[in-house]
Chains A and B, each alone.
Chain A
Amino acid sequence: MTGLHTAYLLGLGDDALIYAQRLGEWLTHAPQIEEDMALGNVGLDLLGQARALLTRAGEVEGADPPRDEDALAMLRDEREFRNVQLVEQPRGDFAHEMARLLWFSTYQAELYARLVDSADETLAGVARKAVKEVDYHRDHATQWVLRLGDGTEESHARMQAALEAVQPYVAELGEDHDAARWAADQGIGVLPSTLVEPVTTAVHDVLARATLTVPDAPRWHARGGREGLHSEALGYLLAEMQHIARSHPGATW
């Protein structure tokens, strides 16, 4: 079942890779240079996780010739990416990013806390390192959601609007799929649906402290990312991210 094992690792790695790319877009666009650095740091943490996870995915896949992290990141097409649609959405305003980061980092924190016991030793190692990184991402998002939510009338309204905008992309994080079911059975992975309760509770706690309202359940929600179905945004993101690697195959410096 190397296919499902690979697919599970790609899901984890692609979430980190694609979100790292989005966070990198904040450099020179954040409200302050200090925040450029903070979001850049978060992105680099995620990129580090992505490298280890994609390398492991390539090993498990055992293709001939083998695909390394670069081949997997730069030479796959849109339909082969297995990230959730939350991370590929275009960068909104700063409040949108904090809403997305709060959900995603809380999800990752709960996920990695369980993956430290994975039967896949490499994955467990990645998780052990990532737990501390993600803890900081979550703290950063929390600090900002608290300040914007419980700030001025303007910041409160914009933070609330951002939460509403992100809400349709949250449910996908907790949806089970074939690769995750298999990985959970093998003691390699975590069943996403088991994360829903702790993640939701933690995020809602932050929202309450920030005087924000939990958005109503959305009528539509994103799905399909784990099977390679994506929104329009991913194609543009990949075009930018992959263009150098594809224009100059094998280039190094």
Chain B
Amino acid sequence: MSSTWPLWEVFVRTRRGLSHGHVGSLHAPDAEMALRNARDLYTRRQEGVSIWVVASEDITASSPDERDSFFDPAADKVYRHPTFYDVPEDVEYL
């Protein structure tokens, strides 16, 4: 039976968080039950106030083989970080 239930990825937004973060995966027969299983498995200790579930098969992921071409070219582009501005002294909370 276990082989017939699809896998779901679970995303939880914490009480103070602004976005949902991936917390793990689980098996469930459909999306509604996945949501409930997620509640039981991943919010047992009040970890969150909102849950998303996504069928794992619906996720398109980058491949480890593509890591070099995907990510390495960004390594030498320091000018993309906002570190070249002079911040006036009386600007707070920046």
Contacts and interface: CB of A to CB of B under 8 A. Distances in A.
Nearest to A40: B40
Interface string B28-60: 111011001101110010000000000000000
Given A37-B41, A41-B44, A147-B29, A32 B5 contact: yes
B2 interface: yes
Interface string B4-29: 01000000000000000000001111
Contacts of A38: 36-37, 40
Contacts of A35: 37
Interface in A142-185: 143, 147
B40 A34 contact: yes
Contacts of B44: 41
Contacts of B41: 34, 37
Interface string A18-49: 00000000000001111101100100000000
B31 to A, nearest CB: 11
Given A32-B27, A34-B26, A34-B27, A139 B36 contact: yes
A143 B36 contact: yes
Given A34-B27, A37-B41, A147-B29, A140 B5 contact: no
Interface residues of A, number: 13
Contacts of A31: 1-2
Contacts of A37: 37, 40-41
Contact of A143 (B1, B2, B5, B32): B32
Contacts of B5: 32
B2 A32 contact: yes
A32 B40 CA distance: 13
A37 B43 CA distance: 12
Contacts of A32: 1-2, 5, 27
Nearest to B29: A147
Contacts of B26: 34
Nearest to B34: A34
Contacts of A147: 29-30, 33
Nearest to A140: B36
Contacts of B29: 147
A205 to B, nearest CB: 18
A33 B5 CA distance: 12
Contacts of A139: 36
Residue of B26, B37, B44 with most chain A CB atoms under a 10 A cut-off: B37
Interface of B: 1-2, 5, 26-30, 32-33, 36-37, 39-41, 44
22 contacts: A31-B1, A31-B2, A32-B2, A32-B27, A34-B26, A34-B28, A34-B37, A34-B40, A35-B37, A37-B37, A37-B40, A37-B41, A38-B40, A41-B40, A41-B44, A136-B39, A139-B36, A143-B32, A143-B36, A147-B29, A147-B30, A147-B33
Given A33-B27, A34-B37, 15 more contacts: A31-B2, A32-B27, A34-B27, A34-B40, A37-B40, A37-B41, A38-B40, A41-B44, A136-B39, A139-B36, A140-B36, A143-B32, A143-B33, A147-B29, A147-B30
